[in-house]
Amino acid sequence: MISLKPNLLVRYADLAGLLYKYGRSDLAKAANLPQVLRDQGETFSTEEESNVTPEAFARDLETRGPTFVKLGQLLSTRSDLLPEPYLKALSRLQDQVEPVPFEHIEQTVSQELGIRLSRGFASFETTPLAAASLGQVHRATMRDGRDVVVKVQRPHVRQRVAEDLEALTELAEFLHEHTSFGKSMGLADIVATLHDTIFAELDYRLEADNARRLRENLSEFELFRVPQIVDDYVSSRVITMEYISGVKITDVSPSVLLELDCEFLAKEIFRAYLHQVLVDGVFHSDPHPGNLLLTGDHRIALMDFGMVTRVAPRLQQRLLKLLMAISDGLGEEAARIAMQIGRPEQDFEEQKFIASIASLVAEHQDKSVEQLQAGPIIMSIQRAAGKHGLRAPHELTMLGKTLLNLDEVVETLSPQFDPNTELRSCAADLLQKQTRKRISLTSAYHSLIEATEFAQELPSRANRFAELLANNEFTVRVDAVDDRRLLAGMQKIANRITTGLVLAALIIGASLLMRTESTWLFATGTAFFLFAAISGVILVWRALYSDESQPSSKS
């Protein structure tokens, strides 16, 4: 039942309007949203718009606030739910909004850091560098002269997000329970993922941890820069980090690109992200062009660490195998690995899925980056999985989105860059790093503890084993066929066959005696015939109803 809390009615109206406008009025009616809103005196427009386009859908989400913007960004990874034009429109979704008045920013920073702006910073610009629906960024200077940026959360945004998520959760759970679309598409799981993602982004301490982790993990890539966090100036609603000046890679002028070794830059970006996903298990999952800057010294600066995805070690191995199978054109192998990664539903069509992936990989084998892009292929695999009943994990969808954004960056730098060749060349190195990471000092200590426990218990176990042997009490249990029961069964079969032959002979002999003219021989033949007939009936009855069933062998 949909909740009738007053603070949720406006959200229900927004949701009902979106569903009606973009062709899912059946879902709005299934959840009884129109009647609920009318009963509460709320209204919403159900008129069909002529401008029902992917770009209009993205704009409608933007106007509804931060939760819907994040929902759109999450939906941009779900190629199994939306067609390609909608995915592209949502992947470019940016939540640029009017900035918060500076007095609110000053108040938040002072409350969170426990100091006045004039004491904590040498200077603090009142005009923001950027303003989004969750927070805005200001440039400042520390007392020691360091240039920094300070991201400050907007006032009351947590309450707004919590109310939006409550309405979305109510609706998603209702549709999951009462519609086949809601259940098959996993709407409840989508909203649960959105909940975890957006509340993680609202805690800037987690973002600071992500930045520190990525800075450490990418230290071996000299062309990458990750801003340093100012630890003493971080709270749940404020984060301060090093200021890095740069230009979005897609906005770099052609004259500057001529001065760069663009192919090497593209290779380094590709290798760095493969390293994050397949070795570190923590990757920056929002590398759109606005978050990758080309600095003045021709290095790549990574920005915005609110969206980071973690990958378990076993999934890392399977993702490497999947990428290698795709690059080598092994469609059926790629399909089998995808099945290991995903979770089959009850209606999973295995053979159709394998055929679909094999055809997809064959179409794109040995093509350049202008024709072959890793992101769209992963998204196509996800689309085929959804179509044939295989639920892909969130990590795979985020990998697809990450590669989709990287494709745009790499193509800007070097359109002829071949990701297949690069993946093959670094596969051995990636595998070696994976193995080296698993054989870490911690895992070695764990193995040493287990070996110590085994060595401590070994003498007592050996003494027990020797004692059993000395007392002739050592037994070995073998779960095999019971030979005595088998021989008894074979004997019964032989007896049945012999009895059947004797009875058949009696019937034939009796029939011959009954054809003679002698009364005595006729009576003898009749007796033999009756005896054979009664015996045959008894034999058949015992075979059908009286035999003891054999116990099944243990597995």
DSSP characters over 155-218: TTHHHHHHHHHHHHHHHHHHHHHH-HHHHHTTHHHHHHHHHHHHHHHT-HHHHHHHHHHHHHHT
What tokens does 120 get?
């904590």
The predicted model scores a pTM of 0.66
- Phi first, then psi: give them for residue 105, nearest 5 degrees: -65, -45
What tokens does 428 get?
């051995």
pLDDT at residue number 25:
46
Would you say 148 and 245 are in contact if contact means Cβ atoms under 8 Å apart?
no
Would you say 72 and 194 are in contact if contact means Cβ atoms under 8 Å apart?
no
DSSP letter, residue 392: -
> CB within 8 A of 41, min separation 6: which ones?
none
DSSP letter, residue 96: B
pLDDT at residue number 237:
95
Cα separation of 305 and 142, whole Å?
Answer: 22
Cα separation of 47 and 368, whole Å?
Answer: 46
Cα separation of 56 and 251, whole Å?
Answer: 25
Would you call 518 exposed, middle or buried from its count of C-beta atoms within 10 A (0-12, 13-18, 19+)? exposed
Cα separation of 341 and 320, whole Å?
Answer: 11
Measuring CA to CA, which residue among 99, 155, 154, 144 is closest to residue 126? 99
What tokens does 370 get?
């202008």
> CB within 8 A of 328, min separation 6: which ones?
424
Measuring CA to CA, which residue among 337, 328, 312, 336 is closest to residue 366? 328
DSSP letter, residue 551: P
3-state secondary structure of 296: coil
Would you say 165 and 191 are in contact if contact means Cβ atoms under 8 Å apart?
yes
Would you say 12 and 27 are in contact if contact means Cβ atoms under 8 Å apart?
no
What tokens does 369 get?
């980056």
Per-residue pLDDT 10s for the chain (555 aa) are 455 565 566 666 667 667 666 655 444 444 444 444 444 444 445 444 445 777 888 888 877 778 888 888 777 767 667 777 877 777 766 656 778 899 999 999 999 999 999 899 999 999 998 888 788 999 999 999 999 999 999 998 888 888 888 888 887 787 777 777 667 667 788 888 888 888 888 999 999 999 999 999 998 888 889 999 999 999 999 999 999 998 888 788 888 888 888 888 888 888 888 889 888 888 888 767 678 888 988 899 988 888 888 888 888 888 888 888 887 778 888 899 989 988 888 778 889 999 988 888 877 665 544 445 666 778 788 888 888 888 888 788 788 778 777 777 887 888 777 777 777 777 777 777 777 766 655 556 666 676 677 777 778 877 787 877 777 777 777 655 566 776 777 777 777 787 777 777 777 777 777 777 777 777 777 887 788 778 877 777 777 666 554 444 443
